[in-house]
Structure 1
């Protein structure tokens, strides 16, 4: 169903926007082909960060180095694709790498040329990715005047916004699980903050229409889309108490966000179940202990899954499959990643390192 919806999306985008001329680009260089070496990451692979490097823990227990195109969020959710950054005179060109081919196939993205600081955001079903240029310094203008989407079905890139960005800076946060919506923010140029918290948030319906401006600070502390794509979660900070609290924004009621946790709680992390019917949260108590719990959006059927002592804390939380909840715990010795069943039971230690991504 998701692929059918996205096929409709591609057709509508093609009909509603004029097809840009595709710049002529040379074939990938030998250096680019060499840097694309790597292997397809099977479902269940964990991408972990440790000691400044990113590695992959495969389901068979092997740990491998990630290819350059698979690092820093550029690996597709299905593990078969990645986006390579090819140096070009102080900037970068984008190239798509297909690791299901042997050797990996490299195809340059014509519209993604000479980007100062390219940012990549994949669709959940790996059918395409958004890309944009976000220079690391305020006041420096990027070399893309729009937010683009590259579709694998037709190997074309299309502007997602009806007007050029001009001097505005953009940050794309996340596609909805069904692939029909995109959350993004226009950043404040007078702010040193480069995260989406520093700007005005928008919801873009990829089937058409103008972006919808979100309530002020709606993306502040953005945590996750609800698994059924009906809304999203944010962990906000109460300025009076300094405690974190969980807020749910439903697409049908964006102007009426719902606080899901009590004022006495201090929420630090949150993740939605794949079906959107449950939420995993991490709370920190006054004594310094932290607890991972699962609850329904109406706060019913709450159950504690795991607790860590003083001196440790949860540093990552990913609910990747109905039966698998992954989390990382940080301590003075570093980060360790674990898996636990949402229904309960003892957690299983998987690896050292901070969890970045779970391949589907």
Structure 2
């Protein structure tokens, strides 16, 4: 016996049949909502069905009813579907109102901000998109949010505004990666001095950061790449050994970073046990000490050439021969003197310096006068008692 397939009834253009169909479907949806009002899929299907029936007022009402449910009020996907319906039907102003309510209620959901800004930018409302970015930054989002704001300004060639955003960015996220991005931004725009200033400020503020080693690599590379052409070298290449009086590893790291940022420094090494800092390059020892004394007491131990001159082998061999001859002559003279002393039979006594006596003035000790009745004796049992007559 063949089973009959279930087929949904066809909807004709008959207004009475169409009204009956809509009434029946609405009753079904309302029954499902009354049973499970927190079920998101029921609300979405109900609103989408009303949209398919071209009854947008009812669709608006259903979305608003869904957002009034406590369990769905903080679900950003409901807001996104609601706004998609508004944009499909070109209700731009109503979509803006819904966006504004969504980002006010859920400011930590980055997707809402991104889509809101994208909508305004696609509509050509650049000022509105910039204002939305400004509102978003007041909530101090992650680095991606700040970088998207900077890219937005760069798309419209707003260099000064992008620089101002970078300054706020490094204050909100004071990390090595943020400062390096700021410096690269200045380099791309031809502002070498501004980029150098970014690196110097990063060295001063992030000496205790875990990623400070990245600065020790990037900053010297920047200095080598952007040295001023035609600039005469003021100092010869030399090796300077400094003595540092530090009692904390953080101060040592700051000293290493400050020295590495100087122009002309080629190599740095530190002996932690002896607290000696060795620097090689075209540097001024005085300015070097002046900069390090801001962190800890610093003293110059030695200043010399970067490489010690190699001694020639021939000169060394000649000096050895001369030294041997002179030592032989001294030995012969000593032997001759001893023989003469033995012949005379008298030995010279060794001379010792006589003790010197010095007069030391005794320190002045003033006499202390004690009062005559300092300790007054009393024979009474209780001298402070009173007698009543």
Higher strand share: 1
TM over 0.5: no
Band of TM-score, shorter chain = under 0.3
Larger CA Rg, structure 1 vs 2 = 2
TM-score, normalising length: structure 1: 0.21
